């Protein structure tokens, strides 16, 4: 082989690594573990473009680096293979989504294989395999069989709730619950089976209920909040409307506080944690009940500023609020009906874009202020959301801009309750200040006033402190075909779990991937979609909805630890050894979707005793997007997609890997530049030439290295080690270049230098390093080598080239012995002819000498 032929080298090692099982990993208690995980891809029909592998390359480098440092590294890959695109394609072509999915996976695998990743492919998983989704279904059943105990602050089995109900009814039960229940143990036991089951549904972590959902008519399915962007569906950009439907949900709100608190100990970027914090949206305030004049009903509101209660001049209900119909005065009925109709007609998007138009209608009814006894008019307006808090607010126009806008528009009074507020221009939303015009709260600071009012509300029994979250329970039903069947059947309208030994509940065949004529989901087309429980002769209809895309990805990191276990979702030994993910790499676009559900399911499984940790990933890095050369998003639509296969055919996988890293910091968005790859390609050729003579024969010297050669090597070892530790892979690539440039200059082809250098580079460009490593006579793979330790002694300089500055401006450099102290350096520099020139005969005011770094002379 005369020159660097990457095709031969890479082909050879691709085969050799498979043959030797180089990347197969087993639990090994003698070694410390390290778990590196990539967010697994959805295998789309378009294949991978050059932007996709960015994170995979980075995680591969880190995995290899950790392995060279003595860790037993788990680094798996799989496919998130249920999802909408395959199903849309199936609707159009009639082809079974399983077929397209398999074709796409094969294509992905072919592309991934070219890139030299150290994945242990024996651990591959696919969420659409029944061997896998069997356990997704099993986890669903665990959630169905759990409730959240606020006393222990954990999920517990439904059995423990039943014990409580049987012993004392709801007395003393502190649970997260979707309804209001109060009964004694005697009543509980007398309830019918059906009634009991319906009550339990309000407690289960996976539950079915009539909820207002985001319905997307174009996709024919409901969507979760995180699947909607700017009021339209994230996939396809179709309009979304609100609809009441009977749906499965996950009680993620039970975990809102823990999901929030858990962020503190995670090594994720602050910005990503902030996105989750905002999404969870915790706010602390008070629930207050107001009497309604001439009615038995009470108006329950939530406010974060109970201290401003004396500034309340009106109440506002959301149009959907149940009291609207009950309290609207006859004289206002027509106006109200018109208003409700016009609001309903608005889509989510209209309502969002229409925030400037202030609208609302007076109900004709009044509340009574609990402390002043004054009448407060009750209005209905669509600026109050039905889904947050109680769907009703006490409006304080002097303290809330939206209330101020509303009051100004309808000419309602705006009394100030904070000293010094100027409420003619707008509301004073500051939480600092002293109360005024507020009866017993006058003179108190906001913080103290809140305490005082809570005390008074409590005394009167009309209010209490309340914590609210913006996050809603996660809708779990999808009216689609290509997803995990929900393992439930219905008896008399009540859902029951199918037995775990009957899992997996395999996705049935259907004639078309469309809703039925009666509007039921595609599973309604299956010829026999029913279940016969053991010891029963009768069969019952099965659930027709399937699970959402995030189900399979919420626990996949666990399955990699023990992918072929058909007795449990993961063996205890495996999870005890591998624990949670040490480094997780993926896009920030999953901040409010996958990454929350992923944490949620982990916490549930931890509470139920299956896992020894309650966070799935300790450290998370969000890789940036690679834009196309024209600066746009890389997409088929714009015709600017660069295919990694083409790049590899031209330059090889090592060049592709180096180039992607060399583009810039891993977290940053950056444009792709095909031309630039020439640089790293030249570098690899230069490396090859370093150990080959002019005739192309491998050539290595076994003589001891010189001081300069060792310095070049150890400088590189030190820098690359530091860079890898902080995931700065772009700078490690330039360090390789510097080292090879220096060694080429020195004509160094010594074993003593090249062996360690190859190890250091092998994480980035494994093929060429493995090849040269073998040529050096090594029998074992370079992946089993040991990371070299840099020796400070080789880096010590005899002399320092001091930059000399005058007033902070560098003027000249002077080479001085490294041994000299600050005083001596100062003396020599000041005597130097060049200094005299810049001093122009003046005395220096001050001379700063930082030994081994810099001299600065102030004139």
- Site residues for RNA, 53-112, by CB under 7 A, read none
The pairing of strands 670-671 and 626-627 is parallel
Tell me: does residue 813 bind RNA (CB under 7 A). yes
Q: Which of 517, 809, 833, 841 binds RNA (CB under 7 A)?
A: 809
What is the x/- site pattern for RNA, positions 304-333, by CB under 7 A? Answer: xx------------x---------------
Tell me: does residue 274 bind RNA (CB under 7 A). yes
Judge whether 403 and 305 are in contact, CB under 8 Å: no
Q: Which stretch binds RNA (CB under 7 A): 17-25, 110-118, 244-252, 274-282?
A: 274-282
Tell me: does residue 271 bind RNA (CB under 7 A). yes
Tell me: does residue 500 bind RNA (CB under 7 A). no
The verdict on whether omega for the bond into residue 504 sits within 30 degrees of 0, i.e. cis, is yes
Closest CA to 704 of 751, 773, 754: 751
The pairing of strands 72-74 and 33-38 is parallel
Q: Binding to RNA (CB under 7 A): which residues in 590-609?
A: 591-592
Measured from the CB atom, the residue of 740 and 785 that comes closer to RNA is 740
236: left (phi over 0), alpha (psi -120 to 50) or beta: left
Q: Which of 364, 415, 533, 665 binds RNA (CB under 7 A)?
A: 665
From the CB of residue 792, how many other CB atoms can be counted at a distance below 10 Å?
A: 8
Backbone angles phi, psi at 529, to 5 degrees: -115, 75
Q: Which of 334, 492, 678, 827 binds RNA (CB under 7 A)?
A: 678
User: Which residues, 6 or more positions from 738, have their beta carbon under 8 angstroms from its beta carbon?
Assistant: 715, 716
**Buried/exposed code over 794-827 (b: 16+ C-beta within 10 A; e: otherwise):** beeeeebebebbbeeeeebebebeeebeeeebbe
Taking the complex as a whole, the smallest distance from the CB of residue 77 to RNA amounts, in Å, to 26
Distance CA 483, CA 513 (A): 12
Q: Which of 12, 431, 451, 670 binds RNA (CB under 7 A)?
A: 670
Q: Which stretch binds RNA (CB under 7 A): 37-45, 88-96, 144-152, 681-689?
A: 681-689
Q: Which of 738, 746, 828, 830 binds RNA (CB under 7 A)?
A: 738
Measured from the CB atom, the residue of 516 and 731 that comes closer to RNA is 731
CA 348 to chain centre: 25
Q: Which of 278, 530, 697, 747 binds RNA (CB under 7 A)?
A: 278
Structure tokens at 419: 């000293």
Q: Which of 19, 265, 637, 675 binds RNA (CB under 7 A)?
A: 675
Assign 3-class secondary structure to 661-687: HHCCCCCCCEECCCCCHHHHHHHHHHH
Q: How crowded is the C-beta side of 113, counted as CA atoms within 13 Å? A: 15
Q: Which of 737, 760, 763, 820 binds RNA (CB under 7 A)?
A: 737
Q: Binding to RNA (CB under 7 A): which residues in 707-726?
A: 719, 722-723, 726
Taking the complex as a whole, the smallest distance from the CB of residue 809 to RNA amounts, in Å, to 7
Taking the complex as a whole, the smallest distance from the CB of residue 111 to RNA amounts, in Å, to 23
Taking the complex as a whole, the smallest distance from the CB of residue 671 to RNA amounts, in Å, to 6
Measured from the CB atom, the residue of 208 and 286 that comes closer to RNA is 286
User: Which residues, 6 or more positions from 844, have their beta carbon under 8 angstroms from its beta carbon?
Assistant: 830, 857, 858, 859
Measured from the CB atom, the residue of 354 and 576 that comes closer to RNA is 354
Tell me: does residue 627 bind RNA (CB under 7 A). no
Tell me: does residue 673 bind RNA (CB under 7 A). yes
Q: Binding to RNA (CB under 7 A): which residues in 767-806?
A: 801, 803, 805
Q: Binding to RNA (CB under 7 A): which residues in 376-415?
A: 382-385, 387-389, 391, 393, 396, 400, 402
Tell me: does residue 850 bind RNA (CB under 7 A). yes
User: Which residues, 6 or more positions from 634, have their beta carbon under 8 angstroms from its beta carbon?
Assistant: 49, 50, 51, 626, 627, 628, 640, 641, 642, 672
Taking the complex as a whole, the smallest distance from the CB of residue 191 to RNA amounts, in Å, to 35
Q: Which of 196, 516, 699, 734 binds RNA (CB under 7 A)?
A: 734
User: Which residues, 6 or more positions from 858, have their beta carbon under 8 angstroms from its beta carbon?
Assistant: 806, 807, 844, 845, 846, 847, 848
Measured from the CB atom, the residue of 152 and 632 that comes closer to RNA is 632
Taking the complex as a whole, the smallest distance from the CB of residue 633 to RNA amounts, in Å, to 9
Tell me: does residue 668 bind RNA (CB under 7 A). yes
Structure tokens at 765: 């460009």
Q: Binding to RNA (CB under 7 A): which residues in 208-227?
A: 225-226
Q: Binding to RNA (CB under 7 A): which residues in 350-379?
A: 351-352, 354-355
Judge whether 485 and 526 are in contact, CB under 8 Å: no
Measured from the CB atom, the residue of 196 and 673 that comes closer to RNA is 673
Q: Could you tell me the CA-to-CA distances from 605 to 250, 523, 815 in Å, in that order?
A: 14, 29, 65
Q: Binding to RNA (CB under 7 A): which residues in 285-304?
A: 285, 302-304
Tell me: does residue 521 bind RNA (CB under 7 A). no
Measured from the CB atom, the residue of 5 and 229 that comes closer to RNA is 229
Q: By three-state DSSP, how is residue 750 classified? A: strand
Q: Which of 238, 243, 811, 844 binds RNA (CB under 7 A)?
A: 811
Closest CA to 311 of 386, 412, 445: 412
CA 20 to chain centre: 36
Residue with tokens 């050799």: 16
CA 443 to chain centre: 46
β-bridge partners, 351: none
Judge whether 847 and 858 are in contact, CB under 8 Å: yes
Q: Which of 11, 344, 512, 682 binds RNA (CB under 7 A)?
A: 682
Measured from the CB atom, the residue of 283 and 516 that comes closer to RNA is 283
Taking the complex as a whole, the smallest distance from the CB of residue 583 to RNA amounts, in Å, to 19
Measured from the CB atom, the residue of 356 and 707 that comes closer to RNA is 356
Tell me: does residue 686 bind RNA (CB under 7 A). yes
Distance CA 342, CA 326 (A): 20
Tell me: does residue 240 bind RNA (CB under 7 A). no
β-bridge partners, 316: 379, 393
Tell me: does residue 1 bind RNA (CB under 7 A). no
Positions of E strands within 278-360? 282-292, 298-303, 314-317
Q: Which of 583, 680, 716, 785 binds RNA (CB under 7 A)?
A: 680
Size of the site for RNA (CB under 7 A): 86
Q: By three-state DSSP, how is residue 147 classified? A: strand
Judge whether 554 and 597 are in contact, CB under 8 Å: yes
Q: Which stretch binds RNA (CB under 7 A): 161-169, 268-276, 325-333, 576-584?
A: 268-276
């Amino acid at each position: 082989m005369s020159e660097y032929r990457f095709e031969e080298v890479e082909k050879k090692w691709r085969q050799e690594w498979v043959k030797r099982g180089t990347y197969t990993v087993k639990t090994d208690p003698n070694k410390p573990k390290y778990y590196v995980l990539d967010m697994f891809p959805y295998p789309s029909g378009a294949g991978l473009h050059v932007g996709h592998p960015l994170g995979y390359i980075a995680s591969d480098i880190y995995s290899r680096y950790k392995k060279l440092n003595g860790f037993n590294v788990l680094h798996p890959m799989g496919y998130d293979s249920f999802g909408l695109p395959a199903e849309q394609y199936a609707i159009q072509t009639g082809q079974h989504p399983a077929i397209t999915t398999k074709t796409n996976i094969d294509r992905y695998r072919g592309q991934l294989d070219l890139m030299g990743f150290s994945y242990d492919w024996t651990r591959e998983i696919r969420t659409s395999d029944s061997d896998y989704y069997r356990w997704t279904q099993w986890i669903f059943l665990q959630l169905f069989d759990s409730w959240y105990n606020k006393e222990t602050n954990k999920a517990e089995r439904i059995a423990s709730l039943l014990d409580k109900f049987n012993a004392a009814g709801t007395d003393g039960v502190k649970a997260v619950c979707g309804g209001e229940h109060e009964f004694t143990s005697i009543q509980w036991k007398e309830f019918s089976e059906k009634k009991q089951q319906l009550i339990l549904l309000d407690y289960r972590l996976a539950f079915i209920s009539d909820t207002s959902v985001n319905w997307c008519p174009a996709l024919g399915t409901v969507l979760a909040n995180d699947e909607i962007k700017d009021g339209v569906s994230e996939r396809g950009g179709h309009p979304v409307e609100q609809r009441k439907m009977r749906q499965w949900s996950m009680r993620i709100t039970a975990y809102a506080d823990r999901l929030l608190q858990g962020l503190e100990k995670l090594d994720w970027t602050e910005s990503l944690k902030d996105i989750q914090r905002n999404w969870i949206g915790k706010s602390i305030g008070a629930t207050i009940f107001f009497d309604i004049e001439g009615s038995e009903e009470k108006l329950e509101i939530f406010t974060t500023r109970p201290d401003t209660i004396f500034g309340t001049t009106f109440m506002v209900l959301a149009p959907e609020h149940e009291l609207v119909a009950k309290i609207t005065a006859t004289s206002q009925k027509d106006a109200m009906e018109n208003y409700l109709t016009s609001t309903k007609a608005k889509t989510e998007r209209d309502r969002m874009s229409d925030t400037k138009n202030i609208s609302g209608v007076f109900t004709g009814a009044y509340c009574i202020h609990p402390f002043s006894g004054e009448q407060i008019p009750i209005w209905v307006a669509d600026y109050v959301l039905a889904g947050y808090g109680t769907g009703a607010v006490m409006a304080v126009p002097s303290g809330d801009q939206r209330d101020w806008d509303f009051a100004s528009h309808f000419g309602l009074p705006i009394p100030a309750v904070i000293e010094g507020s100027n409420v003619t221009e707008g509301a004073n939303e500051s939480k600092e200040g002293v109360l005024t015009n507020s009866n017993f709260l006058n003179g108190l600071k906001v913080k103290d006033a809140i305490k005082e009012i809570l005390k008074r509300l409590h005394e009167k029994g009309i209010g209490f402190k309340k914590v609210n979250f913006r996050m809603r329970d996660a809708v779990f039903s999808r009216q689609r075909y290509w997803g995990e069947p929900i393992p439930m059947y219905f008896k008399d309208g009540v859902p029951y779990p199918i037995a775990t030994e009957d899992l997996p509940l395999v996705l049935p065949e259907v004639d078309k991937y469309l809703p039925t004529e009666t509007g039921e989901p595609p599973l309604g087309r299956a010829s026999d979609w029913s279940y016969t429980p053991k010891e029963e002769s009768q069969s019952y209809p099965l659930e027709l909805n399937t699970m959402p895309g995030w189900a399979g990805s919420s626990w996949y990191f666990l399955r990699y630890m023990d992918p072929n276990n058909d007795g449990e979702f993961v063996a205890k030994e495996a999870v005890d050894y591998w624990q949670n993910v040490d480094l997780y790499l993926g896009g920030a676009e999953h901040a409010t979707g996958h990454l929350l559900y992923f944490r949620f399911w982990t916490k549930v499984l931890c509470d139920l005793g299956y896992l020894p940790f309650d966070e799935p990933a300790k450290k998370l890095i969000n890789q940036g997007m690679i834009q196309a050369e024209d600066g746009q998003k890389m997409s088929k639509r714009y015709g600017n997609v660069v295919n990694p296969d083409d790049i590899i055919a031209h330059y090889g996988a090592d060049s592709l890997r180096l180039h992607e890293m060399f583009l810039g910091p891993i977290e940053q968005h950056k444009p792709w530049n095909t031309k630039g790859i020439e640089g790293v390609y030249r570098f690899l050729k230069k490396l090859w030439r370093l150990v080959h003579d002019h005739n192309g024969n491998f050539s290595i010297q076994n003589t001891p290295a010189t001081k300069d050669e060792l310095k070049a090597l150890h400088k590189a070892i030190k820098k690359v080690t530091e860079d890898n530790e902080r995931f700065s892979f772009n700078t490690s690539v330039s360090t390789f270049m510097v080292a090879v440039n220096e060694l080429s200059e020195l004509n160094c082809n010594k074993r003593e230098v090249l062996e360690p250098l190859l190890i250091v580079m092998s994480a980035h460009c494994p093929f060429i390093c493995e090849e040269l490593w073998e040529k050096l006579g090594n029998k074992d793979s370079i992946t089993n080598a040991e990371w070299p330790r840099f020796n400070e002694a080789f880096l010590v300089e005899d002399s320092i080239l001091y930059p000399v500055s005058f007033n902070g401006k560098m003027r000249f450099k002077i080479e001085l012995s490294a041994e000299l102290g600050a005083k001596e350096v100062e003396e020599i520099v000041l005597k130097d002819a060049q200094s005299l020139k810049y001093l122009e005969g003046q005395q220096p005011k001050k001379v700063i000498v930082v030994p081994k770094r810099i001299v600065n002379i102030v004139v």
